[in-house]
Structure 1
């Protein structure tokens, strides 16, 4: 079965950047694209707060999707979903079994985090799946060559997604750095790297894996401090169910990095 990438589009700038990124990623993966536009209810949609809703009618949506797909250099199919985005994504995921769900992060720097569009966070809660979030102003869309994998040092498993993620890292031929953020200097600097190696995620990767520890009062601050565009092209987070199912989701490490990272973020839900 040919692998696929599921990309959400609302035809705004952030979605266009995400599509460019996914298109360039599809090459080394040998993947096709599934372009999904969801017609949303402006009365109940959280994007009402940020003005990020498309009001196109059915004919305009069909024309826009046709225009986009006709210019892409990789195989692509387009679909239109309806209602809440997370449910439309869950339906598309069940049918296409993509390697990743890809979406853009709009400009929300002037908006309080509690009112920011929660599309990415809502998807994680409704249908936990590997998800790539691309900032609207990302300075590049080429496949990542320098990947930062942030872990908490605890054991984890990616379950059914482990094979696909190992293939992704292998296909990218990227330099991988494992980072562990602690509130105080850690006595076992290699423990975080070993927890990654035990998952099989890094088996046979070339070039060799690097590791580093960072001391910061809050894990999200430490990750954002290290994941700068000058040093890394992609940051990968391991999201445990407790981090995206709790009542304080907007204050979790996953949420804070998703909202404020200057580079694309790949969220990998850990298996329970």
Structure 2
């Protein structure tokens, strides 16, 4: 079965930008697009109170999906889900087994962080899966070439997703840089271990260019990653999210959540498998 990219759309600007970005990824990957619109009709949905939800009826949704699909230059399947987005995504993932789930990040500039209830975080908590989040302000929808992979130096495995991620990096002819973010105080010999932790996963085996390595010390890792992943220097930042990142009430304070909220370049979150 050909690979696929599962793309969420609500027909707003951020979703349209993510769709453009993902469509440009699909061609070099030889992938089809699964376009998913979720009718978020649950009264418990936090976005019901923000006015950020599409209020289209079923016929309007069908016409909108048909229009969007008709404009794509890659094979596309359009679907409509219902209820909570995370559950609808989990269902679609189980059926299509996509390489990535792709969605846009709206403009949260006027919303206090503690009030931000993002779809991406809800999906990661409910059904961790490789996810690409495209900021609404991203300047280019061209496939990424310069990729920054941020790690903490601990060993990890990507399990069944390792092969798909290796294919993604290879098909895009990426230049991969591993960024080791170390505590402000600690041993100085962890940079090599961080690079080795990435190489051991096998994701860089087929890359034509040698993997580069950088190390920074930071009291706040998320700030260091966002600062390093500047547009013009890198096109994509990759995070390894461990199972513990998805647990508890403090998830919105995690490194993953902070980078997702503040990165100026697209963010690819890869859930690590428990060892």
- Is it true that 1:6 corresponds to 2:6 in the alignment? yes
CA deviations 1:191-221 (Å, max 9, x no partner) are 1101101111111311111000012211101
Q: How does 1:65-84 map to 2 (within 5 A)?
A: 65-84=65-84
SS in 1 for 2:90: helix
Cα RMSD, aligned residues only? 1.1
Report the equivalent of 1:261. Answer: 263
**Using the alignment, how far apart are the partners of 1:88 and 1:7 within structure 2?**
12
- Residue 237 of structure 1 contacts residue 265 of structure 1 at CA under 8 Å; is this kept in 2? yes
Report the equivalent of 1:46. Answer: 46
SS in 1 for 2:104: strand
- How many residue pairs get aligned? The number is 272
Structure 2: stretches of 5+ with no match in the other structure: none
Q: How does 1:1-272 map to 2 (within 5 A)?
A: 1-41=1-41, 43-184=43-184, 186-188=187-189, 189-272=191-274
**Using the alignment, how far apart are the partners of 1:49 and 1:220 within structure 2?**
29
**Using the alignment, how far apart are the partners of 1:49 and 1:226 within structure 2?**
35
Structure 1: stretches of 5+ with no match in the other structure: none
SS in 1 for 2:7: strand
- Residue 138 of structure 2 contacts residue 265 of structure 2 at CA under 8 Å; is this kept in 1? yes
- Residue 42 of structure 2 contacts residue 84 of structure 2 at CA under 8 Å; is this kept in 1? no
